[in-house]
């Protein structure tokens, strides 16, 4: 033990070693980050200020926006700093924080997307019972359950990972700290830990997938019986984007954690990670909010009222 060098910091995988491309990465990711940050915060403000949007659907939407702000803030700021300063270093404590917060916000988002599918199921399949089932207290409990359960799930994985000894190589094949990459750097046998990560991710991912699938099977069967083509289109335009967001998020996450190491390069894993950790919050903003008529009308009212008051 005395001859081993304990790792106190890690080296993250950079997008490029060429300085010009590092600056390009900084500019592109900064633009994406600011757009996601300002857009999602704007949605939260609009939902909070407009009492017409104080419904379960928009309550969950504002929760999703807040989650997206937190989720994208876990990895992007550090990546921006590293590109700007031409550095790849991250401390052990910073790495542990990234793992905990990344797993926490990612799993909370999956849980919340499942809750949102249930909300749409009740609204479309049982409209007369909607106000009884989706009360303010029930919505708050479902949102809180998503946050608390994901926090405990993340704490379990983080503690399980960082109780392992790290020695020797400290290079992580990802642009942020990732459990699978950290397990490869441990100087002890991690086969059991890797199996636990895969089984837990697969088990809970399967629960979310089946829950959403069952919800939307009932939703689509109900929508197809609606006589009005306009009402069917409205229902489908609300539900299909939700399915696309969920599929993109969970498919790229599964690829990252379950893909064979021997048949994929680090940059393939990096591309998949960019899709679910960077692109997903922006897509959520575009699909759920900017194409939503009620959100746009509420935003227009708030802006016109603000400018009118100033005059």
Interstrand relation of 89-91 and 9-12 (parallel, antiparallel or unpaired): antiparallel
Distance of CA 73 to the CA centre of its chain: 11
Report the chain's mean pLDDT, rounded to a whole number.
83
Coil, strand, or helix at residue 186? strand
pLDDT for residue 118 is more than 60: yes
Question: How high is the pLDDT of residue 1?
Answer: 40
Domains and CATH numbers, the chain: 9-310 (1.20.1070.10)
- Considering only residues 160 and 310, tell me which one the structure prediction assigns the higher pLDDT: 160
R_g of the chain computed on alpha carbons: 21
Confidence of residue 2 (pLDDT cuts 50, 70, 90): very low
- Considering only residues 184 and 3, tell me which one the structure prediction assigns the higher pLDDT: 184
* Average pLDDT rounded to a whole number, residues 201-229: 85
């Amino acid at each position: 033990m005395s001859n081993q060098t304990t790792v106190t910091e890690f080296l993250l995988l950079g997008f490029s070693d060429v300085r010009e491309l590092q600056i390009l990465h900084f500019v592109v990711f900064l633009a994406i980050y600011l757009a996601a940050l300002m857009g999602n915060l704007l949605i939260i403000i609009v939902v909070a200020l407009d009492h017409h949007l104080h419904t379960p659907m928009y309550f969950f939407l504002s929760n999703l926006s807040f989650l997206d702000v937190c989720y994208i803030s876990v990895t992007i700021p550090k990546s921006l700093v590293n590109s700007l300063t031409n550095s790849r270093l991250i401390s052990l404590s910073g790495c542990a924080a990234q793992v905990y917060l990344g797993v926490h916000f990612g799993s909370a988002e999956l849980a919340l997307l499942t809750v949102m599918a249930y909300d749409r199921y009740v609204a479309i399949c049982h409209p007369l019972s909607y106000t009884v089932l989706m009360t303010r207290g029930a919505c708050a409990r479902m949102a809180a359950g998503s946050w608390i359960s994901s926090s405990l799930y993340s704490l379990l994985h983080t503690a399980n990972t960082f109780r392992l000894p790290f020695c020797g190589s400290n290079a992580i094949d990802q642009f942020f700290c990732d459990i699978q990459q950290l397990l490869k750097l441990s100087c002890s046998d991690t086969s059991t830990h890797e199996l636990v990560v895969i089984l837990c991710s697969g088990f809970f991912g399967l629960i979310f997938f089946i829950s959403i699938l069952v919800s939307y099977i009932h939703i689509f069967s109900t929508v197809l019986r609606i006589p009005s083509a306009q009402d069917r289109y409205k229902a489908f335009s609300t539900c299909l984007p939700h399915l696309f967001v969920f599929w993109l998020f969970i498919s790229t996450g599964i690829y990252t954690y379950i893909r064979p190491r021997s048949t994929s390069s680090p940059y393939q894993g990096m591309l998949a990670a960019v899709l679910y950790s960077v692109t997903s919050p922006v897509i959520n903003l575009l699909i759920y909010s900017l194409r939503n008529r009620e959100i746009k009308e509420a935003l227009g009212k708030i802006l016109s009222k603000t400018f009118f008051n100033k005059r």
